């Protein structure tokens, strides 16, 4: 079975032009078929602030009213996605930018209003495998923004980018042997969040429960690990959490998930 790499890049790197440039150069140099999923939460928060709109995050998710949906659509599916595509084209990588609505790539369902009303936030409910296969087998490199769509009413919805990466990886797993790599600004899952040398090399479900109970993992690391375990349990062959600047290292020098 052919291997496809699904790489996710997080918002702190997307917001740092030098780190992003280096990461995109390494991504472009990766051998074989690949998909890039990007976040950009930090830039959306900064642009919202500039427009006088306050950001509310609950459990790592953005409360998205109609005005915020307009902003995140412009920022993720426009500004960030197109700049990444242009930079990859400049590196000789034939990238094609999409959000979940394009080619029906990621259908979603709006979250129920209880217990928390997140507004226009969706959880993935379907994957456009035919679209993805046509692009990948056609030699294109999909670059996916974390905006999905609800086919029942055609509405765009905001979706956590780690969840989008997991959905793409799981969706491709029946067809290819899939490797999912979450790249961010730290070296992996750390025992001490302030010590980059404290990377935990391997995490299984039992250790994850202990790390949560001890408060070693928190904040944005929780949805990342939940998505990582969901991917491993759903047929993705290899899942790694690592530093963006280590993408070119063999094995990525980060945390590998096991079940």
Ligand X SMILES: Nc1ncnc2c1ncn2[C@@H]1O[C@H](COP(=O)(O)OP(=O)(O)O)[C@@H](O)[C@H]1O
Ligand Y SMILES: CC(=O)N[C@@H](CCC(=O)OP(=O)(O)O)C(=O)O
Name the binding residues for substrate: 40-41, 62, 158
* 119 belongs to the binding site for ligand X (CB under 6 A): no
The DSSP letter of residue 164 is: H
Q: Kindly state the smallest distance separating residue 66's Cβ from ligand Y, in Å.
A: 14
72 binds, among ligand X, ligand Y, none (CB under 5 to 8 A by kind): ligand Y
- Record the tokens describing residue 234, joined without a space: 């759903």
**Which residues of the shown chain bind ligand Y in the complex (CB under 6 A)?**
10-11, 39-41, 44, 61-62, 72, 121, 146, 158-161
The CA distances from residue 175 to 1, 31, 193, 249, in Å, are 8, 19, 37, 26
CB closer to ligand Y out of 4 and 72: 72
Q: List the one residue from 5, 38, 111, 186 that touches ligand X (CB under 6 A).
A: 186
Q: List the one residue from 95, 105, 172, 190 that touches ligand X (CB under 6 A).
A: 190
List the alpha helices (DSSP H) in 77-220. 81-90, 129-137, 161-173, 205-213
141 binds, among ligand X, ligand Y, none (CB under 5 to 8 A by kind): none
* 249 belongs to the binding site for ligand X (CB under 6 A): no
* 11 belongs to the binding site for ligand X (CB under 6 A): yes
Return the range that interacts with ligand X (CB under 6 A); candidates 47-55, 61-69, 119-127, 182-190: 182-190
The CA distances from residue 21 to 13, 162, 258, in Å, are 9, 21, 31
Q: Please state whether beta strands 177-184 and 147-150 pair in parallel, antiparallel, or not at all (unpaired).
A: unpaired
The CA distances from residue 235 to 66, 142, 173, in Å, are 36, 21, 6
The DSSP secondary structure of 1-65, one letter per residue, reads --EEEEEEE-HHHHT-HHHHHHHHHHHHH--S-EEEEE--HHHHHHHHHHTT----EETTEE-B-
The owner of tokens 């899939």 is 178
CB closer to ligand Y out of 125 and 133: 125
* 254 belongs to the binding site for ligand X (CB under 6 A): no
Rule CB under 6 A: which of 199-228 touch ligand X? 216-221, 224
Q: Kindly state the smallest distance separating residue 179's Cβ from ligand Y, in Å.
A: 19
Q: Kindly state the smallest distance separating residue 31's Cβ from ligand Y, in Å.
A: 25
187 binds, among ligand Y, ligand X, none (CB under 5 to 8 A by kind): none
Given a contact cutoff of 8 angstroms between Cβ atoms, the answer to whether 111 and 86 are in contact is no
The owner of tokens 């609505």 is 101
Residues that bind ligand X (CB under 6 A): 10-12, 39, 41, 184-186, 189-190, 193, 216-221, 224
């Amino acid at each position: 079975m052919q291997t496809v790499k699904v790489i996710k890049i997080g918002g702190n790197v997307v917001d740092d032009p030098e780190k992003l440039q280096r990461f995109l150069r390494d991504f472009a140099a990766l051998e074989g078929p690949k998909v890039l999923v990007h976040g950009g939460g930090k830039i959306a928060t900064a642009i919202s602030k500039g427009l006088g709109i306050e950001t509310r995050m609950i459990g790592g998710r953005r409360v998205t009213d109609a005005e915020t949906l307009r902003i995140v659509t412009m920022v993720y599916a426009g500004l960030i996605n197109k700049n990444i595509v242009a930079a990859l084209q400049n590196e000789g990588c034939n990238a094609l930018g999409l959000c979940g609505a394009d080619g029906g790539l990621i259908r979603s369902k709006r979250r129920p209003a209880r217990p928390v009303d997140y507004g226009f936030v969706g959880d993935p409910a379907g994957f456009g495998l035919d679209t993805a296969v046509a692009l990948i087998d056609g030699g294109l490199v999909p670059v996916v923004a974390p905006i999905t769509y609800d086919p029942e009413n055609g509405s765009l919805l905001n979706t956590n980018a780690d969840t989008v990466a997991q959905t793409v990886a799981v969706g491709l797993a029946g067809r290819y042997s899939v490797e999912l790599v979450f790249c961010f600004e730290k070296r992996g899952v750390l025992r001490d969040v302030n010590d980059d040398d404290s990377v935990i090399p391997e995490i299984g479900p039992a250790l994850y429960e202990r790390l949560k109970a001890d408060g070693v993992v928190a904040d944005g690391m929780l949805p990342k690990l939940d998505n990582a375990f969901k991917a491993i349990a759903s047929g993705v062959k290899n899942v790694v959490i690592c530093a963006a600047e280590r993408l070119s290292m063999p094995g990525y020098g980060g945390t590998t998930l096991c079940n």
